[in-house]
Amino acid sequence: MPLNHYTTLGRSGLRVSPFCLGTMTFGLDWGWGSTPEESCRIMDAFFDAGGNFLDTANIYTKGHSEKVIGDHVGKRPAKRGRAVIATKFMGNLFPGDPNGGGAGRKSICAACDESLRRLQTDYIDLYWMHVLDIHTPLDETMRALDDLVRAGKVRYIGFSDTPAWRCAEAQTMAHFRGWSPLVALQIEYSLVERTVENELIPMARELGMGVTPWSPLRGGVLSGKYTRANRDTVEPGRGDWVKQHLTDRNMDIVDGLIKVSKEVGATPAQVALAWVQGKPGVASTIIGARTMDQLRDNLKALEIKLTPEHVASLDEISAFKPIFPNAFIPNARHNVQGGTTINGVASEVWPMAPQSDGERW
């Protein structure tokens, strides 16, 4: 699949590339990342390859990420018109100010204006709530976001890192009140992190939210550079954020990735990206790149063709234990379907049910 084979995001008409360029590394303000000059080269290479989707946040590199995008894209009408720029609110850039972050109306409106200023644009294509705000009523957040859409400052809205039931509540509220609906859900999703398949992925598919996975390589754990042999001696650039995930289970997954990558002539990272992008509900996977080489390598994942056998092997080695009631519901088919097959799902006659009409009360 080429980068310029676009998909509509969720239940919307917004066209986005199958990979989204994550920009958390734009700027060196956190002590690691890319210079503004390298960041601009990365953006241009992404655009030239057909990509159009950028993801940032107000707090990335202390606001510098948005400024880098604004300097290179926002102030250039031709680039801005073709780009789909997504950014997030919630993060607090003002220590000591309780309203400097969060999902309340005061904070959202201020954060939006500040992002527009840094991005040097009149509108944000996709505005994300970065994470659930436990202190703010959800109807206040949704109404404030709808007001921003009606004002023309925002085109579409989405949620990131929010429980499924809260997303469903927000979506139902929006539909019943005629407010702007959520069109996308940004969540961590990878061979390492699959618990989102319990509730979040099914919810998003049912309620019209396109999934945009973040950290599809789990901070580099699935890149292939960390192995069972070297995991105790390496010092990752992100320290404990990576080291805590170099577990036996994850090393098993890496072993499986290496095996598949040799069979398809790719790198483990490319196979991991191809796996997540091919999952049901996934619209556009967020890839990060600190260098041009990393970008080129990641984009090659779109050329990978995984066979059903490859996918099955990776699914098996990364399998996780379902949570209740997901673990319980499949077993109920026997006392529901009466030994019949429905939509391809087979069942057995439940031994505790009447075995003939004469046994019914």
- 57-83 average pLDDT score: 97
Q: How far apart are CA 12 and CA 339, in angstroms?
A: 40
Q: Are residues 185 and 83 in the same domain?
A: yes
DSSP string covering 190-238, please? SSS--GGGTTHHHHHHHHT-EEEEE-TTGGGGGGSS--TTTTTT---TT
pLDDT 10s digits, 312-355: 999 999 999 999 999 899 889 999 999 999 999 999 998 888 88
pLDDT 10s digits, 153-178: 999 999 999 999 999 999 999 999 99
pLDDT 10s digits, 134-149: 999 999 999 999 999 9
Q: Are residues 149 and 296 in the same domain?
A: yes
Q: Does the structure show a pLDDT above 90 at 360?
A: no
Would you give the DSSP letter of residue 330?
G
Determine the pLDDT at residue 361. 80
Q: Does the structure show a pLDDT above 70 at 239?
A: no
Q: Are residues 100 and 79 in the same domain?
A: yes
Q: How far apart are CA 92 and CA 136, in angstroms?
A: 15
Determine the pLDDT at residue 103. 98
Q: Are residues 131 and 85 in the same domain?
A: yes
Q: How far apart are CA 246 and CA 231, in angstroms?
A: 7
Under 8 Å between Cβ of 33 and 290:
yes
Q: Does the structure show a pLDDT above 80 at 357?
A: no
Determine the pLDDT at residue 202. 97
Q: Does the structure show a pLDDT above 90 at 358?
A: no
Domain that holds residue 339: 330-359
**Would 2 be classed as within a structural domain?**
no
Q: Are residues 321 and 345 in the same domain?
A: no
Determine the pLDDT at residue 356. 79
Q: Is the peptide bond before 95 cis (omega within 30 degrees of 0)?
A: no
For residue 43, the tally of other CB atoms under 10 A from its CB is: 23
Q: Are residues 319 and 341 in the same domain?
A: no
**Would 12 be classed as within a structural domain?**
yes
Q: Are residues 338 and 196 in the same domain?
A: no
Q: Does the structure show a pLDDT above 80 at 238?
A: no
Domain count, the chain: 2
CATH number at residue 206: 3.20.20.100
Taking CA atoms, 223 is separated from 109, 253, 279, 312, in Å, by 39, 11, 19, 20
**Would 1 be classed as within a structural domain?**
no
Q: Are residues 196 and 334 in the same domain?
A: no
pLDDT 10s digits, 21-50: 999 999 999 998 999 999 999 999 999 999
- 180-199 average pLDDT score: 98
Q: Are residues 217 and 159 in the same domain?
A: yes
Q: Does the structure show a pLDDT above 80 at 115?
A: yes
How does the average pLDDT of the chain come out, rounded?
Answer: 94
Q: Are residues 122 and 150 in the same domain?
A: yes
Contacts 24+ apart (CB under 8 A), 241-250: 242/218, 245/192, 245/218, 245/219, 245/221, 246/221, 250/192, 250/218, 250/221
pLDDT 10s digits, 195-233: 999 999 999 999 999 999 999 999 889 988 887 876 666
Q: Are residues 341 and 194 in the same domain?
A: no
pLDDT 10s digits, 56-65: 999 999 999 9
Determine the pLDDT at residue 354. 85
Q: Which residues are catalytic?
A: 60
Determine the pLDDT at residue 92. 98
Q: How far apart are CA 111 and CA 90, in angstroms?
A: 8
Q: Are residues 213 and 163 in the same domain?
A: yes
Taking CA atoms, 67 is separated from 43, 54, 154, 242, in Å, by 13, 13, 18, 28
Q: Does the structure show a pLDDT above 90 at 1?
A: no
Here the tokens at position 8 are: 């509509």
